[in-house]
Structure 1
Amino acid sequence: MKLEVTNHEIQVGDVNIIGISTSSVFLIGDTDCIQLTSAFDTPAESLLIGPLVPIASEVG
């Protein structure tokens, strides 16, 4: 797959993330290369899929 992106100016105000998955990428800005690799060596019957776990918010 070939993906070509033309970047323009970006301004980010606030970001509110309430949960993440076990494999996540959050990126603001530029990058030259992102390489994704996956391996699965667990028997399917032992795989547990549950709800997202919220990120603890800061107390201040």
Structure 2
Amino acid sequence: MVFNVTNCGLNVGSIDVIGISSAALFLIGDADTIQLSSAFDTPPESLIIGALVPFVPQG
């Protein structure tokens, strides 16, 4: 996948995060290369899939 974005001046005032993912990338600014990878070494029988826990900011 090729994803090109051209920003002509970037000004970030504030960011409110209302949720996160178990596999996520949050980036503000420039990056020449982004390489994401993951490894899962837990046996399938020990995986528990249930309700997601909501993200509650502290403070």
Task: Tell me the C-alpha RMSD between the 2 structures.
Answer: 2.1
Is 1:19–1:52's contact at 8 Å kept on the other side of the alignment? Answer: no
Unaligned runs of 5+ in 2: none
Query: What percentage of aligned pairs have identical amino acids?
Result: 50
Unaligned runs of 5+ in 1: none
TM-score, normalised on structure 1? 0.63
Q: How does 1:29-48 map to 2 (within 5 A)?
A: 29-48=29-48
Which amino acid in the other structure matches residue 48 of structure 1?
Answer: I
Give per-residue Cα distances to partners, 1:4-45, cap 9 Å, x unaligned. Answer: 322222222221113322222211111111111121222223
Aligned length: 58
Q: Hey, which of these two has a bigger chunk of strand by percent?
A: 1
